[in-house]
Amino acid sequence: MAIEVVVVDGHTLTRFGLTTLAAAHPDLEVVAEASTGAEAVAFIASLSPDVVTLAVDLPDGDGLHLARDLRDRYPSLGIVVLTAHGEDDVLFRALETGASAFVGKSAPVEEILCAIRHASVAASSFTAAGLANAMARRHATAARLALSPREREVLMLLRDGVSIPAIARTLYVSPSTAKTYVSRLYEKLGASNRAQALMTALSKGLIRTDAATA
């Protein structure tokens, strides 16, 4: 029996390419194409496919948020995240959503085929061609940043939207000392404000996607 696939992408050319690719392989069958997340949800509910290929950027929302929702609803559904963005933080976001595979749209055909086939038999097991290198870069960055326990505490408070005066009260220090802690953290992260610091911390794996609030 062929692996039934729903292709979800806002770009007609990408959907056509994946459908054409599947048609050339007897073990794959595209049973529906969706251009939006809303269409994808309806197709998946009615067709119960084995695998969904999902673009990160969709016209009506974030594909990775949709991936998380689909994983919660359908534990056995294979989810292949396809993206034009090869950044490590996007890869790790895909991993955290419970996706089965992460593939660049410019990846070789065999890599895309392998991702779909993997997802059909191991929905809960994540695979990505660059995962090992991305993990190595994350660990190297974490070692280089080497936040102290106090700096990590301050980062968590910034993440939670706590003001500097409130940070001072929480840590039982003066406001000037709290400002010094925050300034040192910004300097280490190469940031000039809270938003930049949180984005950098997120991209470097110092905080989780679902925990960032600013």
> Residue 87 above 80 pLDDT?
no
Report the alpha-carbon distance of residue 15 to residue 200 in Å, rounded: 33
| pTM for the structure as a whole | 0.67
pLDDT (0 to 100) of residue 131:
77
> Residue 97 above 80 pLDDT?
yes
DSSP H or E segment with residue 83: strand 78-83
> Using one digit for the tens of pLDDT, what is the confidence trace for 154-190?
999 999 999 999 999 999 999 999 999 999 899 888 8
159 in Cβ contact with 214 (< 8 Å): yes
pLDDT (0 to 100) of residue 112:
95
> Residue 128 above 60 pLDDT?
yes
Give the CA count within 13 Å in the CB-facing half-sphere of 156: 9
- Average pLDDT across the chain, whole number: 89
- Counting DSSP H helices and E strands in the chain, the numbers are 10, 8
* Most confident residue range from 42-46, 143-147, 198-202: 42-46
Distant-in-sequence, close-in-space partners of 63: CB < 8 Å, separation ≥ 6: 8, 37, 54, 55, 56, 57, 81
> Residue 125 above 70 pLDDT?
yes
pLDDT (0 to 100) of residue 51:
97
pLDDT (0 to 100) of residue 212:
43
| Rounded (to 5) percent helix, strand, coil in the chain | 55, 15, 30
